[in-house]
Amino acid sequence: MSQMRTGSGDPPIPPPSLGDVQDAAQRIRGVALRTPLVKYKSSEPDPPIWLKAECLQPVGSFKLRGVYNWARSLSDAQLQRGVTTQSAGNTAQALGYSAQLLGVPARSLLPDSAPRVKVDGVRAYGVTPVPVPFSALMDYVFDKGWEREPYSYLNPWGDPLMLAGSGTIGLEILDDLPEVTAIYVPVGGGGLVSGIGSVIKELRPDTEIVGVQSTACPSLRAALDAGGPRWVETGDTICDGTMVPVVVDEMYPLVRSSVDRVVLVSEADVRTAIAGLALGNKLVVEGSGAMSLAAALGEERDGPVACVLSGGSIGADRLAKILASEA
């Protein structure tokens, strides 16, 4: 059963090189935005908190960087087969956007519990959504179900080209804020924090990389405490984009080496962060994206820090309720 397995048996995924990340930056230029780094305004904290607003990407999340980097690296024959992935929504939306630019079909497996806003977003980009139970989704990953299909498959967590695309965020933060002392990064499967962390460890090893997870799904914390991947029980959470109950074996060594420590945040703190971003900075950010700010606000800081706001896929009803309750 997938719930007893923590990987497919493949070897550990290596970190992207600095050259890989620099190549990705060139490849995605003109498609993915070089997003701004802006000060958090809600309470004017000192030292300042800076926000890497990936929610402003054309598809609303950082995923476009890695997905387009991957898609542009495929041969014409691979592209014409169509492209597929598995995703809670943001990767699938980025895949659809990229597929439309390249003129090829796309589809995505996604959990049947995915929020409607994300499923609708998948369809809006021409992706065929294939809802399945989460256990079946993990079986598809571990059993390499894509090998029995005609599509070109994108691993949303550990594809090297995805990691290199995510690493471009680290390059931009260092360019815009060379004095940054820590970078707070949401963690689901571990691809985002590994991409950013690999770059930072090479160029600025004294900058701390802080992985952030919800108390409702602390899979990386559990793995670090146990010395290896462990399944965790998940609870109800607004951080659905990072609700990955196991950091898989193939990713764990890279994630472990990329992260200095892990901070867990409560649902209440994430809601407060979402409201602060909307009211203070006029940024619409989903729960998973706001986790980084929630973590930074809960800690003392020795200098300026950056928070990666990974995405903005939040439904209008949910956002309205949060703003009403936090006003």
CATH 3.40.50.1100 residue window(s) in the chain: 14-62+160-326, 64-153
CATH 3.40.50.1100 fits 14-62+160-326, yes or no: yes
Per-residue pLDDT tens over the stretch 184-220: 999 999 999 999 999 999 999 999 999 999 999 999 9
Whether residue 48 contacts residue 63, with contact meaning beta carbons closer than 8 Å, is answered with no
The owner of tokens 């600025």 is 204
Q: Select from 200, 258, 159, 177 the least CA-distant residue to 18.
A: 200
Per-residue pLDDT tens over the stretch 242-278: 999 999 999 999 999 999 999 999 999 999 999 999 9
* pLDDT score recorded for residue 31: 98
The CATH number fitting domain 64-153, selected from 3.40.50.1000, 3.40.50.300, 3.40.50.1100, 3.40.50.720: 3.40.50.1100
CA within 13 Å, CB half, 291 = 31
Model-wide pTM > 0.85:
yes
Residues of the chain with pLDDT under 50: 1-2
